[in-house]
Amino acid sequence: SQQGEEDPQALSIQEGENATMNCSYKTSINNLQWYRQNSGRGLVHLILIRSNEREKHSGRLRVTLDTSKKSSSLLITASRAADTASYFCATTQGAQKLVFGQGTRLTINP
């Protein structure tokens, strides 16, 4: 199965700064989703952006989608220590299954 690639693999920033994570994928998609995973826990759904959308906001989160470049970005503004987690993008490719990217481990330093 094809998986997305995310960069950076790890990101460490100071509290209050903005964090940007990128995701690239290989095939046509129906939608793209971003999830957060705290260490040793399950996934929390953050936001879904459809293939015909270019940008979406949810609170401090901003997601963009560029289908021509097959890429998406997740921006977290005014980061907090509680944002420390791994972030994964996932695409739905025709069939019902999700295909996850490799993830970005985000660390927010107080």
Partner 1 sequence: GAVVSQHPSWVICKSGTSVKIECRSLDFQATTMFWYRQFPKQSLMLMATSNEGSKATYEQGVEKDKFLINHASLTLSTLTVTSAHPEDSSFYICSARRGLRESNEQFFGPGTRLTVL
Give least dist CB 91 to partner 1, A: 12
Tell me if 21 sits within 8 A of 106, measured CB to CB.
yes
Instruction: Give Rg (Cα) of the chain.
Output: 13
Contact between 47 and partner 1 by CB under 8 A: the answer reads: no
Distance CA 25, CA 17 (A): 27
Give least dist CB 63 to partner 1, A: 15
Give least dist CB 103 to partner 1, A: 5
Contact between 45 and partner 1 by CB under 8 A: the answer reads: yes
Q: What type of residue sits at position 101?
A: G
Contact between 95 and partner 1 by CB under 8 A: the answer reads: yes
Tokens 């994928």 correspond to what residue? 25
Tell me if 100 sits within 8 A of 3, measured CB to CB.
yes
What is the contact surface with partner 1 in residues (CB under 8 A)?
1, 3, 30-31, 35, 40-45, 48, 88, 92, 95-103, 105
